[in-house]
């Protein structure tokens, strides 16, 4: 019995000195799954997938040396039996351990591993349970039908399925290389966020919040296209770890800047109240002043999990004091009924409707209808893509108070709200015609304490 043998070896080891033994402390069981193990085996070969598994085993053993036992099936499943060597005890031990494992899984997913000269990222899922007895517990607890393993089996892989088709393998390797460009840049330089304001159309000095848009340079010094790379990470199953890194960056900014409201984009795959949000939830619970100034924007580039799960996520964020915005309204995958069930605080009407509305009376009527529909389902409505004064007047005539677009402020790497000059993204290498840049608004405007309903 592998587990019994591992425990006996641990009890006999002298390296742990006076630390509590496994049967004298609270014990947690973590089950890990390499979600893209078969993907890697098909695209890069079985030895490559096994090497990724072996590397994860090595890292887990190093992370929990002295206070845990690590087991592996040699393929896609690993287990960690972790005990409370420092005597922290109870909820504090569990909270610290789960946060430690989440940080590790996030870091591993965002770290590039080179195999045969090609970049690879492992997509990881995990689950945990408190083991039932401090004296003894059955070997079956780490079996595939054990309680933790059953919880893990209920966690779906958010990426696309694998196929043995040769074209699929080539496409997978190509997309993995593209994802590695952005993830490698973030690992190297940290998240770089450009902030774009959402302003009151009648009073440009009134800002609802500033949306954080990720920026990353590849190895050639060129900016990655966020829309393309995030969609790729969704397909590869890497976007959960990426989203949490962005959430952390925005929370850091909010903690440093007490008078600003900021928005962070998360994929529809991340709109679920699960273990990946645990660390962020703990931070928000401890800082209600930060939670009140955080807007979580759900981007519908991928399909949401069951609407009941997404709705529970929205309720959790709102209970913490955050606001939730639904992006891409009108072109996303949600029905009107689903949007009403989500009950977001903010709805952002996709820019394409404003562009079309300027072309024909029929499309103008559609735009006005969509704005009215959004206004009945959310406290604030934002229209995106406002590039000219004509755009702004048309949106205002339709009843839209809050507007976002190049006319009202380009995405700026500089923090305009703290008195520092904003950085024109064209000076950072972005094309003036790129959708990620715009004419600069040459003044710094304050953020209001409150806002009016649109």
Helical H runs in 143-287?
A: 147-153, 166-189, 226-236, 239-256, 278-286
Between β-strands 113-115 and 118-120, what pairing exists: parallel, antiparallel or unpaired? antiparallel
- Burial of 9 by CB count in 10 Å (0-12 exposed, 13-18 middle, 19+ buried)? exposed
Q: Mean pLDDT score of the chain, rounded to an integer?
A: 83
Residues 6+ apart with CB under 8 A from 309: 271, 272, 273
Percent of the chain surpassing pLDDT 70: 82
CA distance 401 to 438: 21
- What token pair was written down for 93? 């031990």
The helix (run of H) or strand (run of E) holding residue 303 is none
* Residue 7 pLDDT > 60: no
Q: Report the run of H or E that residue 10 belongs to, with start and end.
A: helix 2-12
| Helix count and strand count (H, E) for the chain | 15, 14
Rounded to whole angstroms, the Cα distance separating 448 from 417 reads 11
- pLDDT (tens digit per residue) in 40-64: 999 999 999 999 999 999 999 998 8
CA distance 50 to 416: 48
Winning range, highest mean pLDDT, from 180-184, 217-221, 236-240: 236-240
Residue 138 structure tokens: 């059955």
Position 365 confidence tier, pLDDT thresholds 50, 70, 90: very high
pLDDT at res. 57: 92
Q: Would strands 68-72 and 192-200 be described as parallel, antiparallel, or unpaired?
A: unpaired
pLDDT tens digits along 119-167: 899 999 999 988 765 444 545 566 767 788 888 988 888 899 999 988 9
Q: Which tops the pLDDT comparison, 369 or 439?
A: 369
pLDDT at 19 over 50: no
**pLDDT for residue 430 is more than 70:** no
Using a pLDDT cut of 90, give the percent of the chain over it: 57
Going from the C-alpha of 264 to that of each of 84, 108, 333, 376, 434, the distances in angstroms are: 35, 22, 20, 24, 21
Which range is least confidently modeled, 213-222, 306-315, 381-390?
213-222
- Report the alpha-carbon distance of residue 443 to residue 239 in Å, rounded: 35
The answer for residues whose C-beta is within 8 angstroms of residue 401's C-beta and 6 or more apart is 200, 201, 202, 380, 381, 452, 453, 454
Nearest alpha carbon to residue 68 among 85, 81, 55: 81
- CB burial string 356-370: b at 16+ within 10 A, e below: ebeeeeebbeebbeb
State both tokens at 255: 């903690």
**Domains observed in the chain:** 2-153 (3.30.70.270), 191-428 (3.20.20.450)
Residues with Cβ < 8 Å from 344, sequence gap 6 or more?
Answer: 298, 314, 324, 325, 326, 377, 378
CA distance linking residue 20 with residue 279, whole number of Å: 27
pLDDT at 436 over 80: no
Burial of 123 (0-12, 13-18, 19+ CB in 10 A): buried
Mean pLDDT of 162-188: 91
Strands (E), 84-220: 113-115, 118-120, 124-130, 192-200, 207-215
Among 67-81, 85-99, 165-179, 289-303, the range scoring the smallest mean pLDDT is 85-99
User: Are the C-beta atoms of residues 425 and 436 closer than 8 Å to each other?
Assistant: yes
Find the range with the poorest average confidence among 166-175, 212-221, 411-420.
411-420
* pLDDT value at 354 more than 80: yes
Angle between helical axes of 90-110 and 46-63 (0-180°, round to 10): 140
Q: Is the pLDDT assigned to residue 290 strictly greater than 70?
A: yes
Torsion, Cα of 364, 366, 367, 371 (10° steps): 140
Please check the confidence at residue 420 and state whether its pLDDT lies above 60. Answer: no
Give the C-alpha distances (Å, rounded to integers) separating 24 from 11, 68, 139, 398: 11, 13, 18, 67
Residue 452 has pLDDT above 60, yes or no: no
pLDDT > 50? residue 438:
no
Looking at residue 36, its pLDDT comes to 96
Q: How many CA atoms lie within 13 Å of 443's alpha carbon, on the beta-carbon side?
A: 9
pTM above 0.75, yes or no: yes
Q: What is the mean pLDDT of residues 35-39?
A: 96
Torsional class of 440: left (φ above 0), alpha (ψ -120 to 50), beta (otherwise): beta
Among 76-85, 329-338, 404-413, the least confident range:
76-85
pLDDT band at 91 (very low <50, low <70, confident <90, very high): confident
CA separation for the pair 238, 36 (Å, rounded): 10
SS3 222: coil
Average pLDDT for 377-398: 96
For residue 298, the surrounding DSSP H or E stretch is: strand 294-299
């Amino acid at each position: 019995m592998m587990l019994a043998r591992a425990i006996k070896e641990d009890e006999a080891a002298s390296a742990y000195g006076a630390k509590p033994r496994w049967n004298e402390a609270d014990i947690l069981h973590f089950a890990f799954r390499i979600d893209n193990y078969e993907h890697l085996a098909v695209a890069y070969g079985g030895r490559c997938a096994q090497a990724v598994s072996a590397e994860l085993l090595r890292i887990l053993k190093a992370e929990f040396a002295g206070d845990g036992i690590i087991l592996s099936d040699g393929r896609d499943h690993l287990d960690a039996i972790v005990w409370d060597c420092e005597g922290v005890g109870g909820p504090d031990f569990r909270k610290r351990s789960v946060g430690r494992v989440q940080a590790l899984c996030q870091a591993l997913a965002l770290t590039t591993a080179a195999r045969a000269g090609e970049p690879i990222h492992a997509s990881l899922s995990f689950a945990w349970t408190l083991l039932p007895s401090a004296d003894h517990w059955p070997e079956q607890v780490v079996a595939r039908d054990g309680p933790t393993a059953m919880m893990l089996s209920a966690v779906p892989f958010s990426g696309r399925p694998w196929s043995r088709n040769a074209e699929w393998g080539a496409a997978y390797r190509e997309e993995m290389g593209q994802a590695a460009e952005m993830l490698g840049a973030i690992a190297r330089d940290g998240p770089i966020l450009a902030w774009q304001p959402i302003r009151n159309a009648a009073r440009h000095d009134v800002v609802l919040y500033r949306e954080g848009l990720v920026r990353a340079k590849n190895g050639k010094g060129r900016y990655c296209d966020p829309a393309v790379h995030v969609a790729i990470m969704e397909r590869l199953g890497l976007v959960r770890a990426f989203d949490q890194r962005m959430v952390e960056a925005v929370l850091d900014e909010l903690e440093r800047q007490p008078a600003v409201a900021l928005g962070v984009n998360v994929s529809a795959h991340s709109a679920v109240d699960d273990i990946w949000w645990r660390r962020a939830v703990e931070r928000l619970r401890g800082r209600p002043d930060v939670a009140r100034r955080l807007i979580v924007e759900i981007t519908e580039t991928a399909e949401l999990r069951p609407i009941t799960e997404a709705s529970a996520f929205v309720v959790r964020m709102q209970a913490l004091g955050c606001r939730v915005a639904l992006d891409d309204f009108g072109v996303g995958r949600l029905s009107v009924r689903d949007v009403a069930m989500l009950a977001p605080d903010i709805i952002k009407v996709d820019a394409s409707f404003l562009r079309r509305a300027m072309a024909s009376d029929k499309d103008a009527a559609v735009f006005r209808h969509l704005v009215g529909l959004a206004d009945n389902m959310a406290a604030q409505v934002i229209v995106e893509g406002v590039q000219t004064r004509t755009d702004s007047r048309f949106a205002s005539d339709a009843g839209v108070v809050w507007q976002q677009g190049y006319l009202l402020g380009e995405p700026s790497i500089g923090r305009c709200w703290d008195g520092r000059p904003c950085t024109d993204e064209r000076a950072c290498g972005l094309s003036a015609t790129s959708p990620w840049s715009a004419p600069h608004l040459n003044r710094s405007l304050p953020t209001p304490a409150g806002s009016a309903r649109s």
